[in-house]
Chains A and B, each alone.
Chain A
Amino acid sequence: MGLLWASLRRDRGGQVLLVLLLAAIILVPLLNLAVPAGAPGHLSAYTVALLGKYLCFALLAVSVDLVWGYCGILTLGHGAFFALGGYAMGMHLMRQIGDRGVYGHPVLPDFMVFLDWESLPWFWHGFDLFPFAMLMVLAAPGLLALVFGFFAFRSRVNGVYLSIITQALTFALMLAFFRNEMGFGGNNGLTDFKDLLGFDLQSEAMRVSLFVASALALALGFLASRYLTVTRFGQVLNAVRDAEGRTRFLGYRVENYQLFVWVFSAMLAGVAGALYVPQVGIINPNEFSPLNSIEMVVWVAVGGRATLYGAALGALLVNYAKTFLTSAAPEAWLFFLGGLFVVVTLFLPQGLVGLLRRSRA
């Protein structure tokens, strides 16, 4: 713990991020609940949900930065872990609907009634219990990462090869989840959620609670990742990133270090997905699309690799730009995103954080 404290004292950006999150946790509920609607400074429920969504993306970016910035694994498939966490949460929310669905079936979700299914598939059992669903939010992406990583790292698949098979992984999952037979609602995905833990998802209090939960998750995820990177374990990770072969010759089991951080990062992404789904109200197979996963990488690249807080900053900025541009000039969004990739890789290898550091030096 002392180590974490010591590292935070040196990490100015991390301090800023934590202070901002603390401020948001206090201010956003106040501005939404205490300031009456219509008065200046009031935050609408829509804005709160939007901010909450950004925070989920920031947590996802932190998880990508952890493996890319600190361990050199350029993942093009982190969207798969995010979506699996989201589906675990979505399944819980579907079961919470109970008999209030369109078809009014007491157990089966609407899409299963529509497909004439007789009973709940085995993998849907248990999701009506909140603790079980939360366990699955961690376990589903964690297990996938464990199995995938175990084989990949043991075979010393690295560099662009690893990037390409992570992309193939999320692409295969996307195709699979599009199939109705999989039992996850096909291309419509899971939606029409009613409530969580007995509270209406549309209520202001619920929106604010989800926002606060997302902010807390981001803060905790950041602290845990920061802790991981400053321990001796984190030193070895850096060594793996910079000289994998040499680290192996020094006697470290490189694949175990990679596997641990890979699974941890997948679980963080799962949590981000689970918090994202109730705030946007839907999860569908598009979350698995390779484009989404690559977008996550650009958040990290824009903010600055291997800083963690930079990744969070990048996610917030790029997503704000996305919201703004897709409504103001839909044509321009892909030009902007593509341009970001080009500019950042050519001129800002350290991202915005690097730019700030340079201007101060």
Chain B
Amino acid sequence: MGYKCIRVATAAVLLILLILGPAAAVERPFGEILQALPSASYEAKATLIRELAETGHPRAVPVLRALSEGDLYVRKADQRVFIVRKGEGGYDLVDPLSGEPAGQAGRRDVKRIGINNTLRNVLAAQLASLSLAAPEAAVRRAAVAQMLGELDASLAATLRARLAEEPDRGVRGMIREALALVDLQAADEATRLAAVQTLHGSLTPEARVRLMALAADPEAGEALRTQARQAVASIDRWRSFYRLMETVFFGLSAGSVLLLAAIGLAITFGVMGVINMAHGEFLMLGAYTAYVLQQLLPGQVGLAVVLAVPAAFAVTGLVGVAIERGLIRHLYGRPLETLLLTFGLSLILQQAVRTIFSPLNRSVATPAWMSGAWQINPALALTYNRLAIILFALAVFLALLALLRFTRLGLQVRAVSQDRQMAQALGVRSEWVDALTFGLGAGIAGIGGVALSQLTNVGPNLGQAYIIDSFLVVVFGGVGNLWGTLVAALTLGLANKFLEPAAGAVLAKILVLVFIILFIQRRPRGLFPQRGRAAEA
């Protein structure tokens, strides 16, 4: 019963197809149509091209593209059609149906399938409409973007047809923009005005160019030119807005790097009062951990980076605890001596890395999911690695905040930093807390180093570049205040990026340094000074 039903349905469909137009009438397989191409006249070729496109065959796009680029040949011996790639010795043949290599041929053994300009236009339109029907919105978007440069009436017709059935809102918007670009050339004033209206705020570079031309065109009407001028102004406003957004994004990512570098310091300096000049070298150790893991796990770039985060935390945290237990605890209460001691340590660590790994910079590969950019619109793209670092920095910050706020260790750390003697009297082992706090600060620097390895090359001097900045962030934000560190890091990152276009990178850096020097004169205890008894110590 069911079987019969299907047969009837199939027959009905076939019947309908037969009645519907010539395309369906010649329901021939792709290969057969293709073989008909070489011997057909130009007019017949146009029909065949349409038929090829309408089969919806997966090889239709490469074959039509080859035809439009003059790469489709017929072999004289057996009249078979091939796609040809010009190789060293002669022509490399590619089977048009499978895309597999199909041997070689001499120059004289094959003949190109000729096309003329009319056919070229037919091909362009068919190719574009094929891509327009692709299932992925991104491919369709790319297809429309591709057409913007070479719009003509036939493409416009394809686009208009597509507009009705396009499900994606973004692609619909792009098609409307493309159609408006075509309409700008229309004879009729009202259509042109409507097109200008559509292009208000369009971000495609093509739209701005065409509107500028229209605004300066003496043959266009006064109203049209005024409208065009306004549209250009609106485009420029939007573009500068997105430029601003982009600068904000760069500033936030630079600020996040600073935050990752400085936040460990904020703990050791702010909570313990220890000036750790070797903090930058903890960053460097973290970055080298990422490098070593990538060497140990060849071909597993993403896994290595993910594993590097806990590994770097462990490595630098342990080094930190060892340094605290072995050296720094002898110098509590003498901040200037601690500063000198840790500076000596930073020199030793740098030279050790230089001796072990080499003084040259190493590059750490970026995993695929972190390369590339998120293209929001033609004027704004956010790179994934910077986006990842912003999110990562915030996650680390929140985790640290939660650790200090909600865990037992956090409670003890806060107790010791507020009143060491009273905490000891209440049974807190302050020495143990000191060691763990220092290890925590160092470990977070190590994590920051992993993040840095995704932005720059890893070298023995990596830490040096960040130590002064990190100190300034901590001092600017106010010692002993993690929120202050967050605000200071993001502020300095933004300030740097906003000054850069006007003043150049070096001058921007100098201006920020001078600003901080002046700021500390006004507020010697930073943006958010610590209050109470601990502040006086």
Contacts and interface: CB of A to CB of B under 8 A. Distances in A.
B341 A342 contact: yes
B344 A341 contact: yes
B331 interface: yes
Contacts of B514: 172
Contacts of A335: 347-348, 351-352
Nearest to B330: A346
Contacts of A155: 520-522, 524
Contacts of B518: 151
A152 to B, nearest CB: 6
A290 interface: yes
Interface in B466-495: 468, 471-472, 475
Nearest to A344: B340
Nearest to A157: B524
Given A160-B335, A171-B513, A294-B343, A338 B524 contact: no
Interface string B314-349: 000000000000010011000111111101111110
B42 to A, nearest CB: 62
A176 interface: yes
Contacts, number: 115
Interface residues of A, number: 41
Given A178-B506, A334-B350, A345 B340 contact: yes
Residue among A74, A171, A301, A334 facing the most chain B CB atoms (10 A cut-off): A334
A157 B521 contact: yes
A172 B339 contact: no
A36 interface: no
A338 B513 contact: no
Interface stretch (A58-66, A95-103, A161-169): A161-169
B355 interface: yes
Residue among A151, A164, A176, A290 facing the most chain B CB atoms (10 A cut-off): A164
Given A168-B472, A171-B513, A172-B514, A341 B520 contact: no
B520 A175 contact: no
A331 B355 contact: yes
B507 A161 contact: no
B336 A175 contact: no
A74 to B, nearest CB: 5
Nearest to B513: A172
Interface in A149-190: 151-152, 154-157, 159-161, 163-165, 167-169, 171-172, 175-176, 178-179
Given A164-B471, A175-B513, 20 more contacts: A74-B336, A151-B518, A155-B521, A156-B524, A160-B275, A160-B336, A160-B339, A164-B468, A164-B472, A169-B517, A176-B506, A179-B506, A334-B347, A338-B348, A340-B344, A342-B327, A342-B348, A345-B331, A345-B337, A346-B327
Interface of A: 74, 148, 151-152, 154-157, 159-161, 163-165, 167-169, 171-172, 175-176, 178-179, 290, 294, 297-298, 301, 331, 334-335, 337-342, 344-346, 349
27 contacts: A148-B517, A154-B521, A155-B521, A157-B524, A159-B335, A161-B475, A161-B520, A163-B336, A164-B471, A165-B520, A168-B468, A169-B517, A171-B468, A172-B509, A175-B513, A176-B506, A179-B506, A294-B343, A331-B351, A331-B355, A334-B354, A338-B351, A339-B344, A341-B341, A341-B347, A345-B331, A349-B337
Interface of B: 275, 327, 330-331, 335-341, 343-348, 350-352, 354-355, 468, 471-472, 475, 506-507, 509-510, 513-514, 516-518, 520-522, 524
